[in-house]
Amino acid sequence: MDSRGPAVARSEVMTFDLNRLAVPIVQAPMAGGPSTPALAAAVAEAGGLGFLAAGYKTPEAVADDIARLRAATDAPFGVNIFSAPQVQDPDVVLSAYARGLTVEAERHGVALGEPRYDDDAYAAKVELVLGERVPVVSFTFGCPTPETVAALHEHDVAVWVTVTDPAEAMLAQQAGADALVAQGTEAGGHRGYFCDDDGHEEYGLLTLLRLLGAQGAPPLVASGGLMDGPGIAAALVAGASAVQLGTAFLLADEAGTSEPHRARVAAPGVTRLTRAFSGRTARGIVNRFMDEHDADAPAAYPQVHHMTSPLRAAARAAGDSEAINLWAGQGHALAQARPAADIVRSLATDAAAALRARGPDHL
Amino acid sequence: MDSRGPAVARSEVMTFDLNRLAVPIVQAPMAGGPSTPALAAAVAEAGGLGFLAAGYKTPEAVADDIARLRAATDAPFGVNIFSAPQVQDPDVVLSAYARGLTVEAERHGVALGEPRYDDDAYAAKVELVLGERVPVVSFTFGCPTPETVAALHEHDVAVWVTVTDPAEAMLAQQAGADALVAQGTEAGGHRGYFCDDDGHEEYGLLTLLRLLGAQGAPPLVASGGLMDGPGIAAALVAGASAVQLGTAFLLADEAGTSEPHRARVAAPGVTRLTRAFSGRTARGIVNRFMDEHDADAPAAYPQVHHMTSPLRAAARAAGDSEAINLWAGQGHALAQARPAADIVRSLATDAAAALRARGPDHL
């Protein structure tokens, strides 16, 4: 485990090399609160790769996060950027959904947000990571153009693209991605589909890894439902170069996870895919809001995200876990409430033990 | 791999010991055609565990399959039995679905089948495997009662139960199951849900294995989307005692897979969960029938199975792959058209190589 020494300092490398991580554990970017510079720094200092989540933040706030992270560690890190949503079908009717949410807004004494379209400042965020020469930039919800990938490469930025199926993997490979974050259906939070929110095959992680391996994909970062040492070891045996864990860090001391969210992650509870909160499919722990609004939610991201934002903020402040998005992967019951560095170290130790326990002689 | 010698002959054991298989590969029972005594015998002779599928067959036909298998090999084997479906809601209206299928029936010049309820001769099949002292009996669609499990144990029959989530695993454990077939969402064919066909969390295999491991489940047989050596090795590292593969044997020489089904398994194509063919959720390759009837199909098994049976038989005979149930797991593109023994041996060799390639020093 420690044979390759400590994490490579950022100044020592040109483009980030996934295979040189001291511990092949990536902390997933979790937009909307859980990801913090402190969490990324703790993971990085323990030998993993920390990530900042640029989603929903202004470029200025992201720049501030980068500065705070760099003040805390010299280790390489990543920034995740949301690819710009497709221009929406103008016929998508949001008013019916808004009517259904009226009672929710009233319950928390707020008005629904304006269902506006925006691209989450995509271009400005790409400019930011170029200028900052961030070691790794991952994209979710779509693939950057080959021109953007080339520009990032010219600035020594490694480009990762989140993919959910073999076709998306092919597109990302053709665009020049250095690594693919293979997102199995087990993953918490938004699905990384490149385009339409409907009709995607929901691949389990293990099968997805093998299908991508068979088509000669770039190095793979396995994502989705990985929570413990044996699960991590299994993903590596299945061909992943590293694993990316989000839910496993939701209860970490350094995570910005809200209290009502923490309480539900730690409790038993099934998860489901839903569009109710954001207009885009995501996995979360089932609660009242999901049950009541799931069926009516249109595929309209980010409009629905903006509509529900005020009422989710109010519910969060009120500690009402029945009205907020409880993003979590299918393995959330295994999450550990500990300092992130302890989580990284115990996962690495347990993964090594799992590999030792089932060597080729034990087949 | 060969250190434990050849497969243990049936006469040498009392109750089957999963850990004594020469190769920890189980051939999944595939009712409706693909499973044959020849396929089970070939897998068993290569050191794996072959399975017969009792589903849809008369007890007499199953007895004949058992006799043919025993004539071909002394190795232990399994028989899979469908648990009796829950008594259906009498209000389920099948006539609307029947109207939608009229055009399908006319297309193939047949009448729809009678939408009758039956229990697939559950009690008679349990009696049969008791009398035959079949080494392993697995159950799908529900858990046998503790009394049935005890009776099987008294006849030296090992009892496996197919489970899709932690709650089902707990019930199976309480009933006395010797092993659990952990079925991930990646799996082809019917989902093994114990009860209602709606609202189940679709666990990916890897996460399911870890959740069941954490709750102290009996030995696990990993099932769902496993197609090659690294995938098998990963499932073992994740804690499975063995793996169960169905789709990986669909193109085997000895499989009874129909020609139109074979052609589609070998071609690229996405899969989806559907109730259109049987009234019970199953994963198959997407085709016209699924696209056109999916949304209207009621949860009414086995009534819908019997309704569509004549038109599926006619379509199969006509080579029309757009109107038959193309059950297949998510990894079907990796299926090999070879003798089953060659498949078993190459999978075992490749799995051992994958474990060797990623030992604890490579973490």
**If you write DSSP's letter for every residue of B264-319 in order, what string do you get?**
HHHS---EEEE-TTTSS-EEEE--HHHHHHGGG--S-TTHHHHHHHHHHHHHHHTT
Question: pLDDT at position A2, please?
Answer: 39
Answer whether residue B206 is part of any domain.
Answer: yes
Q: Nearest to residue B90, comparing CAs of B112, B117, B114, B56?
A: B117
Answer whether residue A23 is part of any domain.
Answer: yes
Reduced DSSP (H G I as helix, E B as strand, rest coil) percent helix, strand, coil of chain B, to 5? 40, 15, 45
State whether A211 and B353 contact (CB < 8 Å): no
Among A91-95, A151-155, B22-26, B115-119, the minimum mean pLDDT is found in: A91-95
Average pLDDT score over residue span B24-40? 97
Q: A362 falls in which pLDDT band (50, 70, 90)?
A: low
**CB atoms near residue A301 (< 10 Å):** 22
State whether A334 and B202 contact (CB < 8 Å): no
Q: Return all residues near B46 (Cβ < 8 A) that are at least 6 apart.
A: B23, B340, B341, B344, B345
Give CA–CA dist B172/B218, Å, rounded.
9
Q: Which one of B1, B19, B206 makes the best mutation probe of the A interface by having the most chain A beta carbons within 10 Å?
A: B206
Pick the residue from chain B with its C-alpha nearest to A357: B237
Cβ(B188)–Cβ(B247) under 8 Å?
yes
Q: B362 falls in which pLDDT band (50, 70, 90)?
A: low
Give CA–CA dist A295/A309, Å, rounded.
19
**CB atoms near residue B127 (< 10 Å):** 13
State whether B231 and A271 contact (CB < 8 Å): no
State whether A359 and B359 contact (CB < 8 Å): yes
State whether B363 and A353 contact (CB < 8 Å): no
B216 touching A (Cβ < 8 Å)? no
Q: B90 falls in which pLDDT band (50, 70, 90)?
A: low
- Percentage of chain A exceeding pLDDT 90: 88
pLDDT for B11 beyond 70: no
Q: Which one of B19, B25, B164, B207 makes the best mutation probe of the A interface by having the most chain A beta carbons within 10 Å?
A: B207
In this structure, what CATH number is given to the domain that contains residue B267?
Answer: 3.20.20.70
Give B-chain residues touching A235 at CB under 8 angstroms. 206, 234
Cβ(B52)–Cβ(B79) under 8 Å?
yes
CA dihedral sign of residues B310, B316, B317, B318: positive
Q: Return all residues near B123 (Cβ < 8 A) that are at least 6 apart.
A: none
CB contact residues (below 8 A), chain B span 63-122, against chain A: none
Answer whether residue B305 is part of any domain.
Answer: yes
| Bridge partners, residue B220, by sequence | B180
- Percentage of chain A exceeding pLDDT 70: 94
Q: What is the pTM of this model?
A: 0.94
| Each residue's pLDDT tens digit, A254-293 | 999 999 999 999 998 999 999 999 999 999 999 999 999 9
Which alpha helices (H) appear in chain B, and where do they start and end? 37-45, 59-72, 95-107, 122-132, 146-154, 166-175, 205-214, 229-237, 259-266, 288-293, 303-317, 340-357
Burial A317-352 (b: 16+ CB within 10 A, else e): eeebbebbbbbbbbbbbbbbeeebbebbbebbebbb
CB contact residues (below 8 A), chain B span 21-50, against chain A: 23-24
Partner residue facing B210 (CB), from A214, A228, A355: A228
Q: Which residue has the higher pLDDT, B8 or B101?
A: B101
Give B-chain residues touching A294 at CB under 8 angstroms. none
State whether B210 and A224 contact (CB < 8 Å): no
Average pLDDT score over residue span B168-178? 98
Answer whether residue B5 is part of any domain.
Answer: no
* Dmax (CA) of chain B: 63
pLDDT for B140 beyond 50: yes
Question: pLDDT at position A91, please?
Answer: 64
B235 phi, psi to nearest 5 deg? -65, -35
Answer whether residue A345 is part of any domain.
Answer: yes
Give CA–CA dist B182/A184, Å, rounded.
17
Specify the number of domains making up chain B. Answer: 1
Answer whether residue B94 is part of any domain.
Answer: yes
| Each residue's pLDDT tens digit, A17-31 | 998 899 999 999 999
pLDDT for A8 beyond 70: no
Partner residue facing A201 (CB), from B330, B359, B363: B330
pLDDT for B10 beyond 70: no
Among A54-63, A94-103, A131-140, B281-290, the minimum mean pLDDT is found in: A94-103
pLDDT for B314 beyond 60: yes
CA dihedral sign of residues B68, B72, B76, B82: negative
Question: pLDDT at position B7, please?
Answer: 44
Partner residue facing B234 (CB), from A202, A234, A362: A234
- ipTM of this predicted complex? 0.94
Question: pLDDT at position B5, please?
Answer: 41
Average pLDDT, chain B: 93
Average pLDDT score over residue span B302-312? 96
Give A-chain residues touching B358 at CB under 8 angstroms. 233, 236-237, 355
> In degrees, to the nearest 5, what angle opens at C-alpha B107 toward C-alphas B105 and B110?
40
Question: pLDDT at position B195, please?
Answer: 87
Average pLDDT, chain A: 93
Cβ(A333)–Cβ(A270) under 8 Å?
no
CA distance B63 to chain A (A): 33
Tell me how far the alpha carbon of residue A7 is from its chain's centroid: 22
Pick the residue from chain B with its C-alpha nearest to A291: B199
Which DSSP letter does residue A85 get?
P
Answer whether residue A1 is part of any domain.
Answer: no
Give CA–CA dist B282/A181, Å, rounded.
28
Average pLDDT score over residue span A329-351? 98
Answer whether residue A24 is part of any domain.
Answer: yes
Question: pLDDT at position A37, please?
Answer: 98
Question: pLDDT at position A87, please?
Answer: 74
Containing structural domain, residue B166: 10-358
Q: Nearest to residue A242, comparing CAs of A215, A224, A223, A217?
A: A223
State whether A355 and B358 contact (CB < 8 Å): yes
pLDDT for A177 beyond 50: yes
Average pLDDT score over residue span B309-330? 97
Give CA–CA dist B160/B178, Å, rounded.
6
